[in-house]
């Protein structure tokens, strides 16, 4: 009987020690873990698709312009960025590299804030007798997406005024380097030609117009033949 009891006690002690060791190792393993929280993984191609889809989910008139759409309508002036945006124009078109958004006829200082990566920028330019104008300077080659809201809203992700707001996001790493790659290049080029023919008749203000036989005078006005070209008809 003593032998049996001895073996039972030894077996019980071994089981208790093993259980304590396993609990101790589990507690150490549990202490070494770190909670990373919620991780959201998204493909760069789905970024613009999600932006276009969210236009119909919001209770305010809004427009989203993705990178591909911006590059499609990109012209020689930043005002061309709004070409595909219905009801949105720029009051400073073809005047340097400035934007002055006009939404539904409303524009000016503080009426339509323009933010770039969350930072509002606006410059008041004095124009002499013409008063002052509101300008927002932006390089159109550095834009990744544009989000526009028409009218004031309570959206915390965009600052709006009485006329609305424009939120511009610049390029990030995924706009240049594809997923799975470590190197990328963004190359852009423009091709254009002359819209009119070469003007071979030229005179300055100090030369005599009679030196140019193609010029003629009518009713004391000098007529430039280059300005009286009859357009050709295409049959």
**How many percent of the chain have pLDDT more than 90?**
4
C-alpha separations of 205 from 103, 202, 209, 220, 228 in Å: 44, 10, 9, 16, 21
pLDDT at 218 over 60: no
pLDDT-derived band at 148, boundaries 50, 70, 90: very high
C-alpha–C-alpha distance, residues 92 and 101, integer Å: 8
The stretch 159-187 carries a mean pLDDT of 85
The stretch 105-116 carries a mean pLDDT of 86
Pairing verdict, β 221-223 and 62-65: unpaired
Instruction: Look over the chain and give the mean of its residue pLDDT values, rounded to a whole number.
Output: 74
The DSSP symbol for 198 reads -
Which segment, 145-154, 194-203, 222-231, is predicted with the most confidence on average? 145-154
Pairing verdict, β 88-90 and 101-103: antiparallel
Residue 91's pLDDT is 81
- In tens, the pLDDT along 23-40 reads 455 455 555 677 778 876
The stretch 80-96 carries a mean pLDDT of 81
Residue 147's pLDDT is 92
User: Which of the two residues, 19 and 1, has the higher pLDDT score?
Assistant: 19
Q: In the chain, what are the domains?
A: 46-175 (2.170.130.10), 197-230 (no CATH)
Check: CB of residue 149 under 8 Å from CB of residue 62: yes
DSSP notation for 113-166: -EEETTEE--EEEE-GGG-EEEEEE--GGGEEEEEEEES----TTS---SSEEE
């Amino acid at each position: 009987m003593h032998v049996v009891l001895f073996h039972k006690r030894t077996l019980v002690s071994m089981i208790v020690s093993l259980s304590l060791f396993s609990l101790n190792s589990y507690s150490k393993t549990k202490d070494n873990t770190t909670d990373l929280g919620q991780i959201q993984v998204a493909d760069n191609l789905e970024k613009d698709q999600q932006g276009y889809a969210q236009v119909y989910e919001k209770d305010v008139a809004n427009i989203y312009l993705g990178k591909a759409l911006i590059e499609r309508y990109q012209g020689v002036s930043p005002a061309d960025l709004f070409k595909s945006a219905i009801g949105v124009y720029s009051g400073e078109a073809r005047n340097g590299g400035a934007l002055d958004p006009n939404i539904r006829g409303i524009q000016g200082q503080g009426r339509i804030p323009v933010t770039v990566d969350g930072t509002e920028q606006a410059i008041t330019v004095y124009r002499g007798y013409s008063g002052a104008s509101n300008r927002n300077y932006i390089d159109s080659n550095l834009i990744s997406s544009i989000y526009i809201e028409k009218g004031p809203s309570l959206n915390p992700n965009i600052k709006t005024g009485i006329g609305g707001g424009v939120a511009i996001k610049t390029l990030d790493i995924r706009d240049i380097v594809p997923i799975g790659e470590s190197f990328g290049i963004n190359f852009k080029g423009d091709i254009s030609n002359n819209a009119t023919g070469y003007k071979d008749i030229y005179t300055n203000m100090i030369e005599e117009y009679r030196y140019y036989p193609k010029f003629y005078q009518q009713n004391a006005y000098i007529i430039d033949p280059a300005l009286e070209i009859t357009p050709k008809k295409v049959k």
